[in-house]
Amino acid sequence: MIELIKDSKINFIGVRHIAITCSVIAILAGIVSMAIRGLNFSIDFAGGTVVQIKFEKPVHNDVGTIRSIVTDLGYGTPEVKRIGAVENNELQIMVRKQAENNNVAENIKNALQKEYNSNPFEVRRVENVGPKIGSELRRNSIIASLLSLLAILIYVGFRFNLPFGVAAVLPLFHDTLITIGVFSILGREISLTFLAALLTIIGYSLNDTIVIFDRIRENIKGGLRGKKLEDTINSSINQTLSRTIITSATTLFVIISLFIVGSEAIKDFSLALLIGIGIGTYSSVYVASPVLIWWNKRWAIAK
């Protein structure tokens, strides 16, 4: 493996109390924002109106223009996606507002006829997505996320042992809460795309943690030789530092590119990944490892 930093002796564990304090502040800020402002749920979770439109001419290059026209109506950021093959020239527009006497669909139709009159179209379908469906989807998403975390706890606990399993899962809650909190503070939408980003963040953060834990386990098996567990953990983090930097940097380069030059449809997805992977890298060092130290002080992990 390429080593960017050789024989580093950075005292990561020495500043763990400062790092944990910063994490607690970030989590509390997110919780306060969620309590005061709430979460900006998309149509997937909050319900809304779906309008399916067929155009006479090709429309795939004008999706951004159509999204802007609908956004100007004040229904929030719409979801605009192609239906079927490109040559069908059909789009599905979803907004977070229930139709009242078809006013939403009519307003979208009128706006497109006025601002996009070079391409005639017909409205094929108008449907309402009820809040009950959105509520069920929210509940199922939470259950699925908790089950995945439980499965991770069991697997890591089996592959390592229980303290390592707990120390691997707690940072995932940390990463998830901070990412959701930042989205609440920024007023960004919580959608199925965001949920996919959260699951990606969980996988990435866990992978980074496992690499460090594997080195810690190897060093513990080699014998502490009078060292404190804190020193062994700190050495292990330094030994895997080059790998952590290379993996995180290359991943972040791609995500930053997606966020800057990507379409509006993936802005929230790339932003969530940008926040989550940065926080995930941090938590592997400053949350997972301190949990092991805390556990060892109460129930010895190694002697």
Question: Model-level pTM?
Answer: 0.79
Cα torsion 119, 120, 125, 128: sign:
positive
Q: What is d(CA 99, CA 109) in angstroms, rounded to the nearest whole number?
A: 13
- Percent of all residues in the chain with a pLDDT value above 90, rounded to a whole number: 14
DSSP letter at 95 equals E
Q: Which domains, from first to last, does the chain contain?
A: 13-41+133-298 (1.20.1640.10), 48-129 (3.30.70.3400)
pLDDT, greater one: 2 or 20: 20
List the one residue out of 284, 297, 303 whose CA is nearest residue 220. Answer: 303
pLDDT in tens, 124-172: 888 877 666 667 777 887 888 788 888 888 887 787 788 888 888 888 8
Structure confidence by residue, pLDDT tens digits, 197-236 = 888 888 888 888 888 888 888 888 776 555 788 888 888 8
**Secondary structure class of 39 (helix, strand, coil):** coil
Secondary structure class of 19 (helix, strand, coil): helix
